Amino acid sequence: MSTVRTPTRLRILAAATDLFGLRGVDAVSLDVIANEVGVAKQTLLYWFASKDELLAAVLLEAANELTVVIEAAVRASTDDPLDRIDAVVRAVFRPAVRRPALLGLVREVSRVPEEVGARLTGQLQLLASRAADYLGQEMDAGRLRRADPGLIAALSYATVTGIATEPAVLRVNGWEPTPAGLRHLRDELRGFLRAALAP
Amino acid sequence: MSTVRTPTRLRILAAATDLFGLRGVDAVSLDVIANEVGVAKQTLLYWFASKDELLAAVLLEAANELTVVIEAAVRASTDDPLDRIDAVVRAVFRPAVRRPALLGLVREVSRVPEEVGARLTGQLQLLASRAADYLGQEMDAGRLRRADPGLIAALSYATVTGIATEPAVLRVNGWEPTPAGLRHLRDELRGFLRAALAP
DNA sequence: TCCCCTGTCTACCATATGGTAGAGAGCCTA
DNA sequence: TAGGCTCTCTACCATATGGTAGACAGGGGA
């Protein structure tokens, strides 16, 4: 109950992102979103002309959030190879940890106009390829045991996507989709990368 | 148009499996399924009392299909380590190749009674842990470079699940969700494992 | 022949959902 | 104060969807 309230439009966007990403667009009605935000359904339709337009806005916003993550990863670079690996791993996992629904939105890309969907998939691609590039550099420098960096990144990416999209997937593997659980997974992957370091 | 038609119940089950797994339960109406099968909606409701009951039957059937896959993988064993690795990889990837919707059903587990959902997640767990066990054996025997077998299996599993669930994920990584594309991915993973073999 | 059972259908209903119409409250500016 | 603009609301509508009621066709047994 702060005096300065987040603008309605942003609150709608945030709630829709989480609900769409976690449950899927078809499973979430405008009423549910409005209820979550604490406004009437018509307030939603004032800010976004239709459900489709709301989804498009959500995907664009997600793409923007990912841009921020990627740019932060670009800036993060130290001389310690382990730290640098950690930075990349963090860059790949952070969206899943901070906003599990973000990557789950990939599921809905086909519903929006192509240029909108391309923004999101483009950012995800960038995230994956940046990780691949970095791992490739480490290998070239002899600090990482050589393997297919694209595959490693793809596996990481698929893991992240799988986690973000399907909490059930996580449970199948015996993990709980909590921040702590995701941290544990990140540590495991980090250990995997550390083990891959050239002896 | 064969003279011997598949029983209606089985045709409904098959269509519902594909539609539920690929698009999600909420995105698929009973009318759509009935249309796909070529019967009236009420015929669906004659065989399955409700949509929820249909979903439960679909999940049970999927669990049974996975059981067959796993048992086949258990039987497959030769002395050539590469062939044995290939057999495990095949076992993990086969459901995704033959029936992409099968693993996508994980998404819907939380909707059905716990004992029904547990059947499916249990089989998926078995699939993943069998791969982990096998990779562990190979490592103990010195034929595979040591790394966390559980993590490798989890990564494979997450990849499979991601592919099966989200064709868009595959496209982000530059792959097409076709059988040929999946074969390519399988070969890549095989190459990864081969590269991991102890020198 | 009659009856009942199986399987499929047409007709219909109640509800939920996406979306429209328009009123009203609050605020800024003239 | 008046007028208009921004934002949110109540009331309502058309359609789609899950589900019910019951008719009808066909086949097998008494």
Q: Which domains does chain B have, with CATH numbers?
A: 52-196 (1.10.357.10)
| pLDDT (0 to 100) of residue B19 | 92
| Average pLDDT of chain A, as a whole number | 74
| pLDDT (0 to 100) of residue B191 | 59
Distance from CA of B121 to the nearest CA of A (A): 6
Distance from CA of B149 to the nearest CA of A (A): 10
From chain A, pick out residues whose CB is under 8 angstroms from the CB of B157. Answer: 169, 172-173
Out of A47-61, B69-83, B119-133, B145-159, pick the least confident.
B145-159
- Partner B contacted by A17 (CB < 8 A): no
Task: Take residue A63 and report the two structure tokens written for it.
Answer: 């793409």
| Average pLDDT of chain B, as a whole number | 74
- Partner A contacted by B158 (CB < 8 A): yes
Chain A interface disruption, residue of B166, B185, B189, B190, most A CBs within 10 A? B166
Per-residue pLDDT tens over the stretch B143-188? 665 656 666 666 666 666 666 655 555 555 555 545 555 555 556 5
Out of A37-46, B26-35, B173-182, pick the least confident.
B173-182
| pLDDT (0 to 100) of residue A188 | 54
Residues B132-136 have a mean pLDDT of 72
Cβ contacts of B163 within 8 Å, gap of 6 or more: A158, B96, B100, B169, B170, B175, B177, B182, B185
Question: Which of the residue ranges B50-59, B78-87, B88-97, B185-194 has the most confident prediction, judged by mean pLDDT?
Answer: B50-59
Query: Do B171 and A24 make contact, defined as CB atoms within 8 angstroms?
Result: no
| A27 against B193, higher pLDDT | A27
- Partner A contacted by B85 (CB < 8 A): no
Residues B109-121 have a mean pLDDT of 88
| B174 against B142, higher pLDDT | B142
Find the farthest-apart pair of alpha carbons in chain A and give their distance in angstroms, rounded: 62
Footprint of strand C on the protein (CB under 7 A): A 28-32, 41-42, 45, 49-52; B 8, 39-43, 46-47
Say yes or no to pLDDT of A52 above 90.
yes
Per-residue pLDDT tens over the stretch A95-142? 765 676 777 787 788 889 988 988 988 888 787 777 777 777 776 776
Distance from CA of B177 to the nearest CA of A (A): 14
Nucleotide C24 C1' to residue A17 CA (A): 31
Say yes or no to pLDDT of A88 above 80.
no
Say yes or no to pLDDT of B61 above 60.
yes
Say yes or no to pLDDT of B64 above 70.
yes
| pLDDT (0 to 100) of residue B56 | 94
Give me the phi and psi of B197, to 5 degrees please: -60, 140
